[in-house]
Amino acid sequence: MPVSRHVLLAGATGLVGRECLAQLAADPSVSGITALVRRPPDAATIHHRKLRFERVDFDRLGLHGAQLAADQVICALGTTIRRAGTREAFRRVDFDYPLALAKLARQRGARHFMLVSALGASSRSRVFYSRVKGELEEAIGALGYPAFTIVRPSLLLGDRGEFRLGEELGKRLAWLTPAAWKPVQARDVAAALVAAAREDHPGRRVIESTEIGRGGRR
């Protein structure tokens, strides 16, 4: 385990990203955190002496090279097709941005990339969402990171600050859902990412949804 690590976090204002911020800030082996954001954080966002927010344009990420130097990267970027509006817009956020980040951070010395993917991710999937996630996993896997950790959660639960019918139904019907598809708490997904960063094992690892919150690894 490294004595100290600087972690770069993308998606810090999202459901999983917010939990990552809090857990990384509490980890004594983390010396610094750079959180990439589109806009300045609001007053409710965590602030800590070792945390720095960097406002970036993800469409022009190459202009922010100096801000992307870190030992490890946690990427919790993501949207939905409904929110993005089109498949093209969804792919830009869920494929183009994470891949650009992975390439640039690797060029600046990052050794471990941790990705929030999705249950069922596969480049061979007939489902567009799952196929994009799978293609991203393969593309980042080809960049030569000494360590690459993929977390594949099912439906995420947490305080989004907005009502989502699908999430509410997921919570109510969880007892009927097969184990592989049961909803998982965002804080548990963050804990899996932060633990993977702390352990810093080399090679490619996949943490499936059934392992999240149970301490298992694969």
Domains in the chain, CATH or no CATH each: 5-211 (3.40.50.720)
pLDDT at 1: 45
Distances (CA, A) of 197 to 10, 83, 110: 14, 30, 12
pLDDT at 17: 94
pLDDT at 66: 85
pLDDT tens, the chain, 218 aa long: 445 899 999 999 899 999 999 999 999 999 999 999 988 776 556 677 899 999 999 999 998 888 899 999 999 999 988 999 999 999 999 999 999 999 999 999 999 999 999 999 999 999 999 999 999 999 999 999 999 999 999 999 966 454 344 444 444 444 345 567 688 999 999 999 999 999 999 999 999 999 997 654 44
- The type of residue at 75 is C
Largest CA distance in the chain: 49
pLDDT at 45: 65
Query: Which residues lie below 8 Å from residue 165, measured CB to CB, with a gap of 6+?
Result: none
Residue 136's φ and ψ, nearest 5 degrees, are -65, -45
pLDDT at 210: 93
Residue from 110, 170, 174, 100 nearest 136 by CA = 100
pLDDT at 21: 93
| Three-class DSSP category at 47 | coil
Distances (CA, A) of 153 to 48, 76, 77, 100, 184: 28, 12, 14, 22, 7
pLDDT at 169: 44
pLDDT at 67: 87
